[in-house]
Structure 1
Amino acid sequence: MTAQMRALAPEAGPKVLRIGLVQGGRIVHERVVKQRVSVTVGADDAAMFPILAEDMPSSGALFLLFERRGDDYYVNFTPEMTGRIALRGGIVALEALRREAPSVRLTEDARGRIVVGGSTFLFQFVPPPPAQPRPQLPLSATKGGVATEIDWQLTIVAAFSFLLHFGFIGAMYSDWMDPAVDEQIAVNGLIDSLKAVALPLPVETPPDSPRERSPLEMPPESKAESPSKTSKSPKDGDGSMSDRGAAALAREADAIQMQLLASLGGPSAVHGALGRGDVPLPDLSGVAGQASGVDTAGGLRVGSAGGGVIQPGRAGGGLAGIGRTGSSGIGERAGDAREVQGPKGAAQIGAPQTSVPVANAESVVAALRPKFRQCYQRYGLSVDPSMAGAVTIVTKVGPNGEVSAADPSGVSGLSNEVVSCIQRAVRNASFAAPGGTGGVIQIPIKFVQQR
């Protein structure tokens, strides 16, 4: 930009001649003589300003109008020329100058008008125009491609930064700096360390040790007696219980358990005991032959004479009268259960009104009646048995028959839950395609209780 401003600055030096040719009332040619050379006019092609032949002076076909002599300009004129010239002394007519000399020296502040036939020349001295700058290609045309657009200094710095950071991180997680390990020595050391580990010896459990029993499996005398009196049970000489004594205690506990099940549950309890795996099968015959029952104190009686298995509902047992009530002792039956149902609702649907013809509007609405009644029954009568009311669903149907909106209108007596349920049922419906831009269907619904 500085170079261009310097080129546009006016050059210091003598002024140059500026000439304009006027023909027919308008300027047809204008020129600045930057080289400060002589100016010729005439009908010849060699003339700087061509004019018509009839406008030429009688001196010839080419006339030297402005002549350069040294560093100065002189204007030459003939008797046929008229006009005025402004000099330092003032404006002088060309006729007055012609009486003194055939030419006049022009200074840099001179200007004037010279008429030659039908052509008029206007002239003045002006500073020389600025030199035209040297034509240059645009900056984009001088670039050498993508490589010239890269800031190589920044690119090199970024590359070294990446190498430094990622190289440091890679060195942290690599094993380059770890000492070399001989695999054979490491394996041998591992084997030696495993040999030095002391493994625990297996503990053998004697097969004849008595199993632990729950309190129900223990005999009655063992429950009543304290631990200090357990010496009465059959034992071996070394203080441990013998196999025969343990077997006897197990049989007694199984018999007591069978009697207890038979007393509480009857045959069903017996069958349940038979299905258990902890009851010895050889002892079932003995269990069935024993008498069992419940005494007046509520305790379990084992081995009582004349007794038998107590079964509910049979005479002779203390539990047979459990289901009987009354002060007279006579059995009375409880009343029969009766299921009480809530109120039932009915949905009454009026004739749907459509803005455009919809082929299956009535059939689709009629198919929605069970869903409307279900909404009324579930969200209405189950909450408020006295609920009753009406609503009109304004349904917007698209061109393809899909329901785009279902808005309630004129809601009376119904809860928001019932109305929302009805809206969902209508939105899931599908009508015949009405075409065009769709249509609107108004569905009036009334809900009442069935009598």
Structure 2
Amino acid sequence: MASTQQSRILRVGLLQDGRIIEERHLRRPGDFTVGQDAKNSLVLPLPDLPASFPVFEYRANQYSLVFNADMKGRVHLGSSDVDFQALRADGMALQRGDQYVLPLQESARGVVELDGDLSLFFQFVTPVSETDTPELPVDLQGGVWRSMDRVFFGILAASMLLHFSCASLIIASEPPAEPELSLDELPDRFARVLIPTQVEEARPQVTDTAQTAAPTEEKPKANDSENKPATENTTRQANAQEAAAKRAEMVKRVAGKGLLKILGSSGSSGAGAFADVLGGSTGGGDIASALAGAGGVGVATEASLGANGPRGEGTGKVAGIGDLGTSGGGKVDLGSSKKEVEVSGRVTSAAPEVESSDVDREALARYVKARLKAIQNCYEKELKRNPSLKGKVMVRFSIMPSGRTGDIEIEENTLGSDAVGSCIRTVIRSWVFPFKPDDEVPVAYPFVFSPAG
């Protein structure tokens, strides 16, 4: 028997839907176990299988099939197939506890059903050399077509056919003709980009005199050296005339201004005074003689500074600096400075709503009341613009574990002024509370505003 067993070896394969997915040849006799444990001969992660189950045992130079009452399968013995239930009922398999053991001959072969579509097949075969590749039966041999997902292959083939057909149609079709647009047909937005607006440069205006003199200048001069003195004289005369014209225009502009108006009212003497004031007198005229004809005007001298009497032909009086007293009931109103109207308002705060015991409500109220002046300034700033501004602002914010304020929202604002709400948010954002809660604490704080007067 030993020599017979050595001539043939046990072949075990794993079937799924009738296809062999794994195969083992037990060249060295020994037990063949299946289960979820990694030490088994064949690892199968099936929940109904134990950690390790010996399907084939090798004892006394002979293999035995081991199965339990729940397992199903069939074994070919001699010329007939016998299932596990018949083996148990006829006593052909020896019972060992809750397992049954069936000794196997070299002609035995069969199938053991494991779970669902998985099953084990076994048979004894002649061992082949390790260099030779064993061949499976034709009906069990796999191939490219059998191992391919036919549904996926069909979808892939249809998609490629559709894409190649569309690409061939696009390549074969002629591109549409693009009409050439003129500048008048372009939309305005393209016209502004393509044709930027050019700023017209100011062109110098050519006077008739220059136009008349242009042909003359183009004529060749016979002797430049002879015409050079004449040109210099002409230039000097033109400059003198231009200076005289500017002087006359200046005299005309200032003739009616202040003292020059008085000077200009005395006839020919005034003309000399203008000449002296403007610095254009060449005759050495005296300013005293120029002012001699002005009524009510005298020239202050050293002898007359202290006296109060008439001077000149008019009724004027010369007053010294000491005579310029402040007598008289006249008062000069320099204008009163603008005073800003004082506007004040009242701010009252109700009890806050605190949603955590980590923050003391009374301590929070004292902290906020000590800083109500900043909230009041926000209100009074807008109260100057709208004296009837009053109402309630409910601010909802959160106290972070660091003591800083988190999200700040204006939940209610009956003032109708967004500026006050924005200012309050800015003030509260700068606060650092003396509380260090473990988590973010939401707080709702109401403020009531009303004018003070």
Give the TM-score range, shorter chain. 0.3 to 0.5
The TM-score with structure 1 as length reference comes to 0.34
The TM-score with structure 2 as length reference comes to 0.34
